[in-house]
Amino acid sequence: MKLAYWMYAGPAHIGTLRIASSFKNVHAIMHAPLGDDYFNVMKSMLERDRNFTPVTASIVDRHVLARGSQEKVINNIVKKDKEEKPELVILTPTCTSSILQEDLQNFVQRASIETESDVILADVNHYRVNELQASDRTLAQIVEFYIEKAKKHCTIDTQKTIQPSVNIIGIVSLGFHHQHDLVDLKRLFNDLDIHINLIIPEHVSVSDLALLPKAWFNFVPYREAGLLTAKFLAEEFDMPYIDVTPMGLLNIKTAICKMQDILASFQCKRDYTKYIELQTKYVSQAAWFSQSIDCQNLTGKTAIVFGDATHAAAMTKILVQEMGVNVLWSGTYCINDQDWFRNEVQHLCAQVIITDDHNLVGDMIATTEPNAIFGTQMERHIGKRLNIPCGVISSPVHIQNFPLSYKPFLGYEGTNQIADLIYNSFTLGMEDHLLDLFGGHDTIDAVTTTLSSNDLVQWSPDALKELTKIPGFVRGKVKRNTEKFAVANEYRVISLEVMYEAKEKASI
């Protein structure tokens, strides 16, 4: 058992449902107790979906517990087949159903005899994979299923398109800014004169999946969903794939260069050098912005990064290599992808954190005291408590992360939006100096803004008053270091004298 208040990645079935609900005309049936269909609420609320979420539950209740599901699951699949006429029904196990150990595969086989639609069982283990891994797995499973089916019916089309073309793999419902990113990716490929063959699973029909091999190569913008599919297609059809997230100028450049190489391997000579230079210099404002005098004050500012592997790695790279920000540590909750993540960021920051425990992340933020945080909704709230600004760069999401206006993270427009996000997250320029000079514009008494509760030493009223005069953004650090000094020197109470002594002896 694990004591947990918060989790970064949801349970496995959420991943499966995100894939199922991304496709057109695919229906998911959860084998779940009453109340587990919370996914529908999220889809309808966060994405403000106008359509009914194509997810229903085959309810597991007392009777199911006593006698097994028997015909119930099959009837529900057949009923849904008649009502909605989907192309595919995905039976989705939940954590509850997986410990019942019913033979769901058998239900699927029996149901598929009676249905017009295809029926498959999502192959995910609830106690071994999380939401993100499950979405990756389910997408690959569906693609494999339809490629096999097309092969059997000889409808598979492996003839490459005449023009260079690409499949974009991994645009998923409830994904962090996926819809905005997709717009910018389309623009990017349009600019590069690469035709988009298929975008999956986003609103594509499963019967179109047989067209996947027509593309020259596959593009996986996010590591969390799509890599397994790309690897399968690489094995099956020898299709090359690119898994560089085009987030930030450097990454975009790497991704485009890789495309150039792939096209060259197909005897299609393209030179994108000019394009990259033009975009970097004039279309994206980010490169110039980081050069501009306004951003000089970013030098030496500290930040920490935490999020999913894709966004945290890209963000770390942008902050360090493109903006000159000092990233104290960078971390991810994608434990399964830690080797890749470590490899990406370890030369960019002093420490790499791999954890899915938000308490640890909170304590790390409290002790390292960065000037700004780039994290998830959880880090935003940690930042609020510690009075440190935070830019949200990754799921888990909140309704605020589904803005109506155009806010991509990928592509050249994405670099602009990220530059704004970074700039707005720091207190910069004159404001910074003025705060320094006048001891901050907050006159509130709250000085205990650390998460780690340390009651070993007490503060005298005088010293506490003095502490309030220290500018807000360094106050926490001074407080902590003084406490450390007092503990080391066995002072029980921190008086003004102790405070000054600490300032002199310990380099605060």
Partner 1 sequence: MTLSTSKSTGFECETGNYHTFCPISCVSWLYQKIEDSFFLVIGTKTCGYFLQNAMGVMIFAEPRYAMAELEEGDISAQLNDYEELKRLCLQIKKDRQPGVIFWIGTCTTEIIKMDLEGIAPKLEAEINIPIVVARANGLDYAFTQGEDTVLAAMAHRCPDHQYQHDTKDKTINNSNELVIFGSLPENVVKQLNYELYKQGINIRGWLPSNRYSELPIIQTNDYVIGVNPFLSRTATTLMRKRKAKLISAPFPIGPDGTKAWITKICQVFNRTPIGLEDREQEIWNHLEQYTKLIRGKSAFFMGDNLLEISLARFLIRCGMIVYEVGIPYMDKRYQGAEIELLRTTCEVMKVKMPKIVEKPDNYNQLDRIRDLQPDLVITGMAHANPLEARGINTKWSVEFTFAQIHGFTNSKEILELITKPLRRNIGNTKTSSNEIYIPQN
Would the annotation count 261 as a binding residue?
no
What is the smallest separation between the CB atom of 13 and partner 1, expressed in angstroms?
A: 7
Nearer to partner 1, 63 or 151 (CB): 63
* Shortest distance, position 454 Cβ to partner 1, whole Å: 14
Q: Concatenate the DSSP letters of all residues of 94-156 into one string.
A: -HHHHHHT--HHHHHHHHHHH-SSEEEE----TTT--HHHHHHHHHHHHHHHHHHHHHHTT--
Residue 378 labeled ligand binder: no
Question: How near is the Cβ of 380 to partner 1 at its closest, in Å?
Answer: 9
CA 467 to chain centre: 39
375: its two tokens = 């994290």
3-class SS string, 382-403: HHHHHCCCEEECCCCCCHHHCC
Contact between 21 and 43 under an 8 Å Cβ cutoff? The reply is yes
Cβ closest to partner 1, residue 133 vs residue 279 = 133
Question: 294, 436, 442, 462: which is the annotated catalytic residue?
Answer: 294
Residue 36 among known ligand-binding residues = yes
Residues that bind partner 1 (CB under 8 A): 1-7, 10-11, 13-14, 32-38, 40-42, 44-45, 48-53, 56-57, 59-62, 65, 76, 83, 94-96, 99-100, 126-128, 130, 378, 381, 384
Q: Can 294 be counted among the known catalytic residues?
A: yes
CB of 60 vs partner 1, minimal distance in Å? 7
Which is nearer to partner 1, 11 or 414 (by Cβ)? Answer: 11
The neighbour count for residue 469, using CB atoms within 10 Å, is 9
Cα separation values, 130 from 11, 15, 392, Å: 5, 8, 21
CA distance 122 to 109: 13
CA distance 461 to 469: 13
CA-wise closest residue to 211 among 250, 164, 166:
166
Give the residue with the Cβ less far from partner 1, 246 or 307: 307
Least distance in angstroms from the C-beta of 343 to partner 1: 28
For partner 1, the closer CB: 201 or 246 = 201
Catalytic sites, residue numbers = 294
Binding residues: 36, 429-430
List the binding residues for substrate: 429-430
